[in-house]
Homo-oligomer: A and B are copies of this chain.
Amino acid sequence: MLDGMPTARARARAELTQEIKDLARKHLASEGAAGLSLRAVARDLGMVSSAVYRYFPSRDDLLTALIVDAYDAVGAAAEEAEAAVADRTDIGARWMAVTAAVRSWATAHPEEWALIYGSPVPGYRAPEDTIGPATRVPLVLLGLLADGHAAGVIEPAGDDLPVPRALGRELVELARGAGVVVPEPLLARGLLAWSALIGAVGFELFGHLHNVVSERDELFARHMAELARMVGFPVARRRSGRRR
Q: Name A's B-contacting residues (CB within 8 A).
A: 30-35, 114, 117-123, 131, 157-159, 161-164, 166-167, 170-171, 174, 188-189, 191-192, 195-200, 202-203, 206-208, 211-215, 218-219, 222-223, 225-227, 229-230, 237-239, 241
- In the docked arrangement, what's the CA distance between A198 and B215, Å? 20
The answer to whether B222 and A174 touch across the interface, beta carbons within 8 angstroms, is no
Nearest first, the 5 A-B pairs at minimum CB distance are A199-B199, A118-B119, A34-B34, A32-B122, A164-B241
The answer to whether A230 and B226 touch across the interface, beta carbons within 8 angstroms, is yes
| Given A167-B222, A191-B213, A226-B189, A30 contacting B122 (CB threshold 8 A) | yes
- In the docked arrangement, what's the CA distance between A7 and B94, Å? 67
- In the docked arrangement, what's the CA distance between A118 and B158, Å? 35
The answer to whether B164 and A222 touch across the interface, beta carbons within 8 angstroms, is yes
The answer to whether A208 and B198 touch across the interface, beta carbons within 8 angstroms, is yes
The answer to whether B31 and A122 touch across the interface, beta carbons within 8 angstroms, is yes
Give every chain B residue within 8 A of A229 (Cβ-Cβ). 157-158, 161, 230
The answer to whether A215 and B166 touch across the interface, beta carbons within 8 angstroms, is yes
